[in-house]
Structure formats: structure tokens, C-alpha cells
Amino acid sequence: MKTALTDTLGRPLRDLRISLTDRCNFRCSYCMPKALFGANHAFMPRSELLSFEEITRLAQLFTELGVRKLRLTGGEPLLRRDIDRLIGMLAALEGVEDISLTTNASMLTLDKARALRDAGLNRITVSLDAIDDATFQAMNDVGFPVAKVLAGIANAEQAGLTPVKVNMVVQRGVNDHDLLAMAEYFRGTPHILRFIETMDVGSTNGWCLDQVIPSADVRAQLHNQWPLEPVDANYRGEVAERYRYADGAGEIGFISSVTQPFCGDCSRARLSAEGKLFTCLFANHGHDLRAPMRTGASDQDLREQLSRIWSARTDRYSEQRGEHTQPIDSRRIEMSYIGG
């Protein structure tokens, strides 16, 4: 029998974000700065990563507690071999209504996109921080060309992994000059471009409030060029404020974790690649699920552990941060470790 589970603030458990690897082939400064994640960085050995069977077992238990949506993240999740096999295993679970994947699309060939779709993947979100090639190459810090990411987006569309959502993390003085060009490129397409306020995830990216361009300012720039109209949220807890172009050229979104925190409706749990459960993107510690699984814990034991963790949840970091110019706690987990 499925249990309706809520935390101390009455927030249900509906979304599970699963990191498949801590590795990535980009070195974006806000996520995996090269100075700290260089050639000698020690990533997790394969033996420490959850197996596909372990991920599927935990996902099933989460669905029994209310989870309906699964999002696969990384690092870069397409670096995990045979990911389509895992998607097939997850798609077969009772209670799963939607499976999506967040990727930099650097390895998203048409064959790969079709294999993911055939396995049961519903949608893809692509991280793309600039349409200007020089800016994009500087931001990914490995010289990867924007054209190959755009090709990956086209492959996702052709394979039916739609609507493709495109996430742009906006940083003052870094890529804010490219806002209108990004919007113009995706106007008139079925893709949904979303502008994200740069956040203080992790403790290695040197975040400060001065880097943040409020979504309201971004929206005003776009509205002056192409009038916008608000659109109702698809569901409670949707992180992006939805807008559409008044001329019918498509939809865009704004994710405003810094200036307009949405903690009050957060229904997301996060599972790290080696099996730690985090109840907030800005958490400083996780709850180990791998050890009990590998030492014989029953499904009931694990279900009770998950229930205790979520029922005791009090997280509302973004609301508490308020107007601080520095993060509240310098020990937070890195975005590359837990995914976005």
C-alpha cells in the first residue's frame, strides 16, 4: 500500500533526482572549476557507484512513498555506460510517470537519443550557457563548440525527446551580453529556453550576490524586445515561472532561486552517485543508503529509513539565505556531485 508522505512543512515527496556519476567532460566555473577538478582529480571508482539494480531498487521504494518523476543527472549522465538499460529498468517501475535527463548534450548523437527514447526516456533538458561560441567555449573551459551542443538538441528533437528544455545559467559580466541572442535563436522553435539565476551551490565557485542578475531584470530585457505573457504553472512546485511570447513564438521560463525562493513547494529529493540521499540542493550532508543495502537491509528497512528522513525534513535554504552576500554554510555539496 502506497503511503502519502510529507515533511515537517507539509511538502510531499514527488520528485527524485538521481546522479549517475560525479564525472563530467566540461569544466564550467560554477560547477566544476578546472583549478579544483583538473587532470589529477580523483573521481569515484566504479565500485563506489550504485549499480543499476541498486538505483532501481531505491527508485521503486521512493515511488511507494509518493515519487512520480525521475530525473537522471550527473556530473554528465551520458558518461555512464549503458544508460539506456537503466532507463528501461526505471520505466518498468509501477508509479513512475515521467523520466527525464539533464545533459550537456555533447555526446547526444541521433542513435543515442533514439536509444534513450526507445528505452523509456520522456524528455531531455540541455545545459547551454551561451549561443556565442567564444563565450560558450570559455565557460565550459574545454573548448567545446556550441555547434555540437545545438546538434545534440536537434537530435533530441528528431528522436521525440520533447519538449527539449534549454537551461542558461546567467552570470553578470560573463554571459549576460548573450541573453537576447539566446532568446532569438530559440524563438519560433518547440524548445523551451529557461534563464537561471546563478546560485551558491557548492563551495568552490566563489559565488557572491553581485554575480546574480535577477530574473525580473532578464525578463524586462526580453519583454522590451518581444512582449511576454505569463502562463500558469503546470503543477504545484514547478521551479520555473512560465511565460510565452505574445506573438506566438513559443515559451520561455525563469528560475529565480536567489531572488524568489520556491522552497515552500519543494518536493525534490536527490540521490548521489554513491547512494547518499540529500533533501536539499544546498545540503551539507547526506544520508547513506548504499551501506544498508549492501549489508542486507530489507525493503521494509529501507522504506522506513526513507520515511524517517523525509518526515523530519526542514530544509528551506534559499529562503534563509535572503540577502546575504555570501552563502550561509561553506560546507555545502558541489553541484557536480549531486546534479542540478
Q: Determine whether 218 is exposed, middle or buried from the number of CB atoms within 10 Å of its CB (0-12, 13-18, 19+).
A: buried
Confidence of residue 1 (pLDDT cuts 50, 70, 90): very low
Q: Determine whether 159 is exposed, middle or buried from the number of CB atoms within 10 Å of its CB (0-12, 13-18, 19+).
A: buried
Pairing of strands 268-271, 15-19: parallel
CATH code 3.20.20.70 for 15-338: yes
Q: What local confidence, expressed as pLDDT, does residue 334 receive?
A: 60
Determine contact, residues 236/265, Cβ cutoff 8 Å: yes
Q: What is the mean pLDDT of residues 156-176?
A: 96
Q: Which residues contact 230 (CB under 8 A, 6 or more apart)?
A: 241, 242, 243
Confidence of residue 121 (pLDDT cuts 50, 70, 90): very high
Q: What is the mean pLDDT of residues 152-160?
A: 98
Determine contact, residues 177/301, Cβ cutoff 8 Å: no
pLDDT value at 21 more than 90: yes
89-106 confidence digits (pLDDT tens): 999 999 999 999 999 999
- pTM value is 0.91
Question: In one letter, which amino acid is 80?
Answer: R
**φ, ψ of residue 48 in degrees (nearest 5):** -85, -20
**Dist. CA 22–CA 43, nearest whole Å:** 7
**Dist. CA 186–CA 251, nearest whole Å:** 9
Q: What local confidence, expressed as pLDDT, does residue 205 receive?
A: 53
Name the β-bridge partners of 263. Answer: none
Determine contact, residues 170/229, Cβ cutoff 8 Å: no
195-244 confidence digits (pLDDT tens): 999 876 655 555 567 788 999 999 999 999 999 999 998 887 788 999 99
Structural domain boundaries in the chain: 15-338
Helices 83-91 & 110-119, crossing angle to 10 degrees? 20
